[in-house]
Amino acid sequence: MPYQKGKTNNPNGRPLKNRALTEILEAAGQEEIKGSKLTRSQFLAHALWSVVTNGEVTLANKKLLQVSPSDWLGVVQFLYKQIDGPPPQMIELPMDQAANVIRVIVHGAHGGQAQGQG
């Protein structure tokens, strides 16, 4: 059958994927490490803080791993992003555009009264 414009050959749409990486990582993180009472997620949290505070970490297989200064900095930056979120981004607008943004914030997108008044 030839292709017909405006008609799909897959009326049910694309099938959902149930293998989202986040779900896989969360499930794996809840498993306990053999010989330990920690889950993998708990171990990861302890390991990250150990790297930051000591510059080294003892892995689950009992091997000691020392990190370089650049790797240490990377872990510190990662933790700050996870805890505080990314820093606010500053944007510069010409005065006429800034005035329009302020007008929308104060009066709403459709020029109504200020929010909370009325």
Q: Where are the domains of the chain?
A: 23-84
Task: Pull the structure tokens for residue 114.
Answer: 């200020």
Per-residue pLDDT tens digits for 19-30: 678 888 899 999
Average pLDDT, the chain: 82
Residues whose CB is less than 8 angstroms from the CB of residue 41 and which lie 6 or more positions away in sequence, other chains included:
29, 30
Nearest Cα to Cα of residue 70 among 57, 48, 55, 90? 55
Tokens representing 105? 């914030």
**Span 75-114, pLDDT tens digits:** 999 998 888 887 788 888 788 887 777 877 887 766 555 4
* pLDDT at 17 (0 to 100): 65
Q: Would you say 33 and 23 are in contact if contact means Cβ atoms under 8 Å apart?
A: no
Q: Assess whether pLDDT exceeds 50 at residue 118.
A: no
Task: Judge whether 78 and 54 are in contact, CB under 8 Å.
Answer: no
Please give the Cα distance from 60 to 26 (Å, whole number): 18
pTM: 0.54
Q: Which H/E stretch holds residue 57?
A: strand 56-58
